[in-house]
């Protein structure tokens, strides 16, 4: 079999490419460490050709999502404005020099009030809905900037972004807490206790953070315990902020286990069941849904 088209998930740090057959079968998968953050707009085509040269002999159409469509990417794909369909009515075509090659870039979604944006997550949402037709509820996409997205009738109605992942990284790498937080390990009970505290009293977060450092200095508390506490404090504050999204709704969560399980545990403590979806699988399914729209246009 030979590839019919190529799917691409091009992020800030790396890129992933799939060779897709005419019947939608994945024929191959390749990755590159040449993410948007290391490239000028004129360099994207060269990376694509280097990584996918043999595929491009038969696959002249590429559908890409992610930061490739940002202002600093290959070509800026202007945001759709919520509420809007998760699958875009139109995509932007990137400039290329290779004869016969067409690269379609999926746009992100913006929200005007309160101001918010997503780029890449909309494709995962589209993939989830393609595999769960008619689903209605809230989709959580945990990560550096976690998204809570209200979806209804195949549209993104509204969404909220929380910088919990980035805050965790900053606090453990660039604050006084870096001396007290283990690089790995976990404690379920400590996470649950800390999460419950800030979920019920989010205004106490700032004061509770320094107590992590003090706990090690005064009581020689295990740094693994303190890591779980920090995660619990931050996710508890996030769940408090996002409560209008998850309370009383169907919840789906798309993400890798490492970042997803604390959210699953936190929501379970609130009696909220969660439907899981794999981020890579949902991304590919979303790109396939966008490609299908091209074929029917």
User: Average pLDDT for residues 258-275, to the nearest whole number?
Assistant: 95
21 with 48, same domain?
A: yes
- pLDDT reported for residue 297: 63
Please name which of 277, 291, 295, 293 lies closest in space to residue 131, comparing C-alpha atoms: 277
Which residue would you say has higher pLDDT here, 110 or 87? Answer: 110
β-pair type (251-254, 80-81)? unpaired
295 pLDDT band, cuts 50/70/90, is confident
What mean pLDDT do residues 20-28 have? 96
Domain's final residue, options 111, 134, 167: 111
Question: Does 7 lie in the same domain as 154?
Answer: no
Instruction: Give the pLDDT confidence score for residue 67 in this predicted structure.
Output: 96
Residue 252 structural domain = 120-279
Q: Report the C-alpha gap between 245 and 239 in whole angstroms.
A: 9
- Region 200-229: mean pLDDT is 96
CA nearest 213: which of 197, 190, 229?
Answer: 229
d(CA 145, CA 163): 5
CATH classification at residue 162: 3.30.420.310
Residue 2 and residue 70 in one domain: yes
In-domain check, residue 289: no
Number of structural domains (the chain) is: 2
Read off the pLDDT of each residue in 124-131 and give the average, rounded to a whole number: 97
Looking at the domain assignment, is residue 296 inside a domain?
Answer: no
Does residue 142 lie in a domain region? yes
Q: Looking at residue 193, what is its pLDDT?
A: 97
> Which pLDDT score, from 0 to 100, does residue 88 have?
86
């Amino acid at each position: 079999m030979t590839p019919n088209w190529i799917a691409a998930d091009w992020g800030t740090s790396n890129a992933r490419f799939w060779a897709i057959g005419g019947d939608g079968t994945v024929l191959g998968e390749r990755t590159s460490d040449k993410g948007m953050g290391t490239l000028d707009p004129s360099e994207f085509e060269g990376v694509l050709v280097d990584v996918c040269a043999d595929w491009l002999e038969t696959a002249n159409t590429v559908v890409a999502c992610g930061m490739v469509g940002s202002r600093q990417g290959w070509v800026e794909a202007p945001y759709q404005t919520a509420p809007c369909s998760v699958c875009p009515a139109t995509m932007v075509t990137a400039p290329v020099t290779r004869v016969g090659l067409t690269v379609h870039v999926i746009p992100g979604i913006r929200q005007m009030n309160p101001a918010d944006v997503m780029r890449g997550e909309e494709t995962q949402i589209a993939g989830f809905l393609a595999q769960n037709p008619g689903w209605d509820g809230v989709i959580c996409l945990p990560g550096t900037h976690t998204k809570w997205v209200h979806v209804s009738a195949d549209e993104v109605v509204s969404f909220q972004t929380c910088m919990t992942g980035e805050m965790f990284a900053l606090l453990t790498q660039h604050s006084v807490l870096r001396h007290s937080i283990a690089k790995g390990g976990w404690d379920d009970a400590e996470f649950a206790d800390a999460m419950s505290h800030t979920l019920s009293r989010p205004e106490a977060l700032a004061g509770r953070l320094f107590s992590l450092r003090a706990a090690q200095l005064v009581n020689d508390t295990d740094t693994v315990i303190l890591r779980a506490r920090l995660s619990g404090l931050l996710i508890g504050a996030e769940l408090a902020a996002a409560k209008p999204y998850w309370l009383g709704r169907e919840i789906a969560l798309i993400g890798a286990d490492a970042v997803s399980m604390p959210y699953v545990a936190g929501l379970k403590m609130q009696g909220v069941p969660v439907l899981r979806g794999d981020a890579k699988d949902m991304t590919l399914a979303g790109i396939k849904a966008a490609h299908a729209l091209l074929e029917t246009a």
